[in-house]
């Protein structure tokens, strides 16, 4: 009976530990259901068009332009950025490139995907892709690891004949992410995500209690340049499935200890009974 109660308690604890992981794995509704997808792109980091993940953004431009979009990415996600450029009917060979930058405007390397491609003469379209490294909740200051916050997409042509300069093109951009989980989790988290305007907002909030400055100054300082964030907020790595595996390991260790004790303690009676004298 004692062993049965221990086993039941261990399995109950294991079920409780696994419940948050099941809740966390529930997919969130697509951001495209909330509104229309953007139909234009920015021309710089400051004017980048904000898009949600799972949205199909489109834009019209000219060859030689720089097209910018921005999207939020949280810890544990591996963003997948894809772009399609529809070219004019007549053109010479031209090379297009897709670059992704983090909230500090550091160019992030692509783990997979064709970041640069050359469209041969007369090609109708060219497709680019960039799968980033997994976003980490914390990193060393000297490292170039992806961190939670706003990410920028820049699409442009890097090799173009003068005769094709200024020809009209259409671009499509789509961003989604794969949840990696505890295999990429690290200890530590950022105080704030790398979102443009976050530092200015924090400074304005800290100075609001002193009573100095007018309401107009406070409202202008608290303006945030990026309004998008993940549907469930910035988790910053507070949860990972490493907790579940830690609980599983602890439960298995407890079961092994109980089983070993049951096997080695014996029946409690001596193996040989001395003869009566």
pLDDT at residue 252, as a whole number:
82
Exposed, middle or buried, 179 (CB in 10 Å: 0-12/13-18/19+)?
A: middle
**Model confidence over 192-229: pLDDT tens digits?**
788 876 544 445 555 554 444 444 444 444 444 566 77
User: Considering its fold, how many domains does the chain have in total?
Assistant: 1
Q: What does the pLDDT average to over 166-192? A: 80
pLDDT, residue 96, reads 96
For residue 136, tell me if it sits in a domain. Answer: yes
DSSP letters of 151-185? Answer: EEEEEEEEE--GGGTT-EEEEEEEEEEEE--GGG-
Classify residue 18: in a domain, yes or no.
Answer: no
User: Distance (Å, rounded) from C-alpha 215 to C-alpha 211?
Assistant: 10
Most confident of 151-160, 188-197, 229-238: 151-160
> Considering the domain boundaries, does residue 265 fall inside one?
no
3-state secondary structure at position 5: helix
In a domain, 59, yes or no: yes
Is 253 domain-assigned?
Answer: no
Q: Is the pLDDT of residue 183 over 60?
A: no
Q: Which SS3 state, helix, strand or coil, does residue 264 take? A: helix
Instruction: Summarize pLDDT for 36-66 with one digit per residue, the tens.
Output: 889 999 999 999 999 999 999 999 999 999 9
| Residue-number span of the structural domain to which 168 is assigned | 36-220+227-236
pLDDT category at 139 given cuts 50, 70, 90 is: confident
pTM over 0.75: no
């Amino acid at each position: 009976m004692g062993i049965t109660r221990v086993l039941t308690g261990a399995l109950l604890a294991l079920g409780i530990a696994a419940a948050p992981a099941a809740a966390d794995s529930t997919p969130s509704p697509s951001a495209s259901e909330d509104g229309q997808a953007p139909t234009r792109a920015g021309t710089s980091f400051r004017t980048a068009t904000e898009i949600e993940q799972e949205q199909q953004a489109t834009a019209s431009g000219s060859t030689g332009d720089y097209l910018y979009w921005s999207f939020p990415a949280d810890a544990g996600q591996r963003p997948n950025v894809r772009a399609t450029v529809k070219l004019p009917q007549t053109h010479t060979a031209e090379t297009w490139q897709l670059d992704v930058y983090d909230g500090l405007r550091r160019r992030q390397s692509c783990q997979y995907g064709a970041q640069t491609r050359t469209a041969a003469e007369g090609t109708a379209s060219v497709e680019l892709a960039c799968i980033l490294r997994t976003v980490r909740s914390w990193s060393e200051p000297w490292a170039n690891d992806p961190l939670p916050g706003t990410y920028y997409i820049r699409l442009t042509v890097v090799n173009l004949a003068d005769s094709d300069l200024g020809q009209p093109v259409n671009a499509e951009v789509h961003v989604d992410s794969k949840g990696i989980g505890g295999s990429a989790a690290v200890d530590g988290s950022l105080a704030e995500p790398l979102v443009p305007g976050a530092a200015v907002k924090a400074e304005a909030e800290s100075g609001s209690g002193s009573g100095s400055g007018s309401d107009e100054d406070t409202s202008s300082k608290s303006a945030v340049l990026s309004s998008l964030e993940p549907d469930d907020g910035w988790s910053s790595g507070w949860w990972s499935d490493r907790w579940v595996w830690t609980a599983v390991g602890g439960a298995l260790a407890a079961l092994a200890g109980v089983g070993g004790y049951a096997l080695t303690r014996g029946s409690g009676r001596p193996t040989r009974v001395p003869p009566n004298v």
